[in-house]
Amino acid sequence: MSAELEALAAFPIFSELSEEELKRMAQILRPLRIEPGEAVIREGEVGNQLYLLMEGQVAVSIRIALPAQLGGKNTPEEKGLIKYSGADHAIFGEHGLLGEEPANRTATITALTPCRMLEFSHSDLESLVRENPHLGFKLIRNLCRVLAERLRQANQDIAKLTTVLSLVLEHRHSS
């Protein structure tokens, strides 16, 4: 198997794909070069493309606005959440890939270094499902696995944040 196919096979959405299926995906995926400081995805924009980070490093950020009583400002600020590199086999934009309508992006993805990415759109997925239902099923199953894991993580994060917020509010009321 070529190095490029091995790199694709490392992404969870391509789990359990045969070499022939990976070759088919390599034909469909569009390469992108992203320069440092350039946003691949902007929070709030609408899109239906998924991006795979092959090389480089990106930052994921969201706009938040804390109420003044919690020490915040009235205007939203960009807050960095996490950084990914090509070795992380990160994907972005998966929400927009599965819906009928393009989805609002939930975060901004900004290149920190020169990046090489691959792009896959909703229409690519639909064409693939029609052309090769078995491969389409595998991709959708794997995307669902990725989304389920992200949902589990989000639920854990919400539980932790809710606990911290309740402790802070309890402390404020007892002071």
Average pLDDT on 81-98 reads: 87
| pLDDT grade for 146, boundaries at 50, 70 and 90 | confident
Helices (H), 29-132: 94-98, 122-131
Residue 68: pLDDT over 60 = no
Range of the domain at 23: 3-174
| pLDDT grade for 162, boundaries at 50, 70 and 90 | confident
Task: For residues 64 and 19, give the distance between their C-alpha atoms in angstroms, rounded to a whole number.
Answer: 43
**Neighbouring residues of 56: CB distance < 8 A, sequence distance ≥ 6:** 34, 85, 86, 111, 112, 113, 114, 115, 116, 117
**For tokens 């229409």, what's the residue?**
123
Looking at per-residue pLDDT, the higher value among 151 and 100 belongs to 151
Q: What is the CATH number of the domain that holds 100?
A: 2.60.120.10
pTM of structure: 0.80
Average pLDDT on 91-100 reads: 83
Q: Give pLDDT tens digits for 26-45.
A: 999 999 999 999 999 999 99
* Selection from 13, 18, 9 nearest residue 98 by Cα: 13
- Confidence at residue 32, expressed as pLDDT on a 0 to 100 scale: 97
Average pLDDT on 143-154 reads: 84
- Confidence at residue 66, expressed as pLDDT on a 0 to 100 scale: 60
The total domain count for the chain is: 1
Task: For residues 60 and 109, give the distance between their C-alpha atoms in angstroms, rounded to a whole number.
Answer: 5
Q: Give pLDDT tens digits for 107-130.
A: 999 999 999 999 999 999 999 999
Q: For CA atoms 8, 14, 15, 16, give the dihedral sign.
A: negative
Element (H, E) at 119: strand 115-121
